[in-house]
Amino acid sequence: MTRYEQLAQQLREQIRTGVWQEGDKLPSLRETVRRSGLSLMTVLSAYQLLESQGWVRSRPQSGYFVAPAREATRYSFPQQPLQPAETVDINAFIFSVLQAGNNPDCVALGSAFPDPSLFPQHQLSRALIRVARQMHADVTGVTLPPGCADLRRSIAQRYAARGMEISPDEIVITSGALEALNLSLQALTQPGDWVVVESPAFYGALQAIERHHLKAVAVATDPQQGMDLDALAQALQQYPVKACWLMSHCQNPLGGTMPNANKQRLLALLAEHQISLIEDDVYGELYAGLTPPRPAKAWDTQGRVLHCGSFSKTLATGFRIGWVAAGQQAEAIQRLQLMSTLSTSAPMQLALADYLSSHRYDKHLHTLRRTLEQRKHIFYRAIQREFPASIRVYYAEGSYFLWLELPPHCCATRLYRRALKAGITIAPGRMFAAGEQYRHCFRLNASLPWNARSEAAIKQLAALIAEQLALR
């Protein structure tokens, strides 16, 4: 990252955390030059970048001021009541949405995956070719659960780089994080048990709960603070909860990241009730804020956190390789995997181990984070420009999702159907809860390249939204 980008990021973080609030005048260019020791050109570039991203406005002869908060950095959800749901039944709807998203003729603003052209295709191909050339007949034995030892060691090294001591022995390689999450849930629960999930939540959590005949308590989740811990404490008092499932970083669909202090309080709360945490962290490596986040797992002293990660969102969508650092449950997870899919494919495990040994992953991630951040800014600006002013949009550091809220009378599911006919997918809020409370919301994928096609899609979407608004 260049110096001016670093400075811009610092200032964004300060605006996010309220050091500078709407209307505040930022320190003058001259003053910042003096304090920071940076050149005037560098400081000016940083301020211009912030302006282009909509964070600040310049006033001639006066300086730079924090832009009004129509942008949703300070947007916070109303406190929600607990949402117990004896049965969860949204699979059919989600399936139809996912199926629709497979159509390559659609502009995939509803997709959960980053634009795959951002992945290091060539390097992965070469890793796969090296593996294919050396592949011996008896490759399966080394990749059965818990999975390829070299790959597990590489993953453990990445934890170590974040200051976490995770033994390769507690890591199990899985078919993407989705299998890791599902096996974790199975290891911790029996049919009929209660599980805490976020509201709104990744639909995979709701599907897993339906599939395994569990009951869900959805606890309100704020894009800046993460899960409401007071509401969680109340839920744990009221329901015999067996597990808690949440995303600590770049939450899907909101995009927000839970502050470290909250992670610590969360763990204390769960420990008090002897409840395990399924920490879905598939987007953590994409966090673009200043300080790389530490998973809740970092404060887990009892082996109660099952930390699920993946390469699908950062490196290779189609390889289907994820993992869980499963603590106490490592053996249980292996047993469950042996009887459900046996193992993940051997060449894929070996190819990823080969790629990671080249030490190019961090460099790739660095570039990927920057590109995603840039693209998201462009989408965000376009949305501010094109969409009706009554639409709220939440922008979070490090996620490639934007979460949008229509006025309450509007139905994003209807918008989804209309958009689909126009060749555009969105992810309607209905997917992210058992109830109807997000039916006026939707999630946009802002990782696509900005070109005539995506620009036309945003304009078309704006027109469809205007149509919905008029439907009162």
Please state whether beta strands 276-280 and 305-310 pair in parallel, antiparallel, or not at all (unpaired). parallel
Residue 115 CB, nearest approach to its own copies (Å): 8
What is the pattern of x (binds its own copies, CB under 8 A) and - over residues 185-214?
Answer: -x---xx------------x--xx--x-x-
Structure-block tokens of residue 344: 């993940």
Cis preceding-peptide flag for 253 (omega within 30 of 0): yes
Residue 334 touches its own copies, criterion: CB under 8 A: yes
Residue 264 touches its own copies, criterion: CB under 8 A: no
Q: Residue 406 carries which DSSP code?
A: -
Please state whether beta strands 322-325 and 305-310 pair in parallel, antiparallel, or not at all (unpaired). antiparallel
Residue 124 touches its own copies, criterion: CB under 8 A: yes
Residue 321 touches its own copies, criterion: CB under 8 A: yes
Report the C-alpha gap between 25 and 19 in whole angstroms: 11
Q: Residue 270 carries which DSSP code?
A: H
Residue 315 CB, nearest approach to its own copies (Å): 12
Residue 338 touches its own copies, criterion: CB under 8 A: yes
From 18-26, 229-237, 315-323, 385-393, span contacting its own copies (CB under 8 A): 315-323
Contacts of 89 (CB under 8 A, 6+ apart): 210, 434
Report the C-alpha gap between 298 and 455 in whole angstroms: 41
Residue 426 CB, nearest approach to its own copies (Å): 18
Number of amino acids touching its own copies (CB under 8 A): 61
Within its chain, how far is the Cα of 92 from the centroid? 23
Report the C-alpha gap between 143 and 127 in whole angstroms: 17
From 18-26, 80-88, 217-225, 333-341, span contacting its own copies (CB under 8 A): 333-341
CB-nearer residue toward its own copies: 146 or 289: 146
> Tokens 């003053």 correspond to what residue?
31
Pick from 344, 425, 445, 468 the residue near its own copies by CB under 8 A. 344
CB-nearer residue toward its own copies: 179 or 198: 179
Report the C-alpha gap between 49 and 34 in whole angstroms: 20
Residue 392 CB, nearest approach to its own copies (Å): 30
Pick from 156, 219, 348, 372 the residue near its own copies by CB under 8 A. 348
Report the C-alpha gap between 387 and 385 in whole angstroms: 6
> Could you report how far apart the first and last alpha carbons of the chain are, in Å?
47
Q: Residue 245 carries which DSSP code?
A: E
61 Rama class: left (phi>0) / alpha (psi -120 to 50) / beta:
left
What is the pattern of x (binds its own copies, CB under 8 A) and - over residues 210-239?
Answer: -x-x--------------------------
Pick from 4, 245, 319, 355 the residue near its own copies by CB under 8 A. 319
Q: Is the dihedral of CA 288, 285, 98, 403 positive or negative?
A: negative
Residue 336 touches its own copies, criterion: CB under 8 A: yes
Please state whether beta strands 441-445 and 427-428 pair in parallel, antiparallel, or not at all (unpaired). antiparallel
From 35-43, 345-353, 432-440, 463-471, span contacting its own copies (CB under 8 A): 345-353
Q: What are phi and psi of 28, to 5 degrees?
A: -65, 165
> Tokens 């009554």 correspond to what residue?
390
From 183-191, 215-223, 355-363, 387-395, span contacting its own copies (CB under 8 A): 183-191
Residue 129 CB, nearest approach to its own copies (Å): 5
3-class SS of residue 322: strand
CB-nearer residue toward its own copies: 2 or 125: 125
Pick from 42, 154, 182, 221 the residue near its own copies by CB under 8 A. 182
Report the C-alpha gap between 29 and 11 in whole angstroms: 13
Pick from 61, 62, 274, 339 the residue near its own copies by CB under 8 A. 339
CA dihedral 176, 221, 224, 161 (to 10 degrees): -30
CB-nearer residue toward its own copies: 306 or 391: 306
Residues numbered 80 to 119 that lie near its own copies (CB under 8 A) are 91-92, 94-95, 98, 102, 104, 113, 116-117, 119
Residue 86 CB, nearest approach to its own copies (Å): 15
Residue 136 touches its own copies, criterion: CB under 8 A: yes
Q: Is the dihedral of CA 91, 93, 94, 95 positive or negative?
A: positive
Q: How many CB atoms lie within 10 A of CB 314?
A: 21
From 52-60, 122-130, 248-256, 301-309, span contacting its own copies (CB under 8 A): 122-130
Under the rule (CB under 8 A), what is the footprint of its own copies? Answer: 91-92, 94-95, 98, 102, 104, 113, 116-117, 119, 121, 124-126, 128-129, 131-133, 135-141, 143-144, 175-176, 178-179, 182, 186, 190-191, 204, 207-208, 211, 213, 317-321, 334-336, 338-348
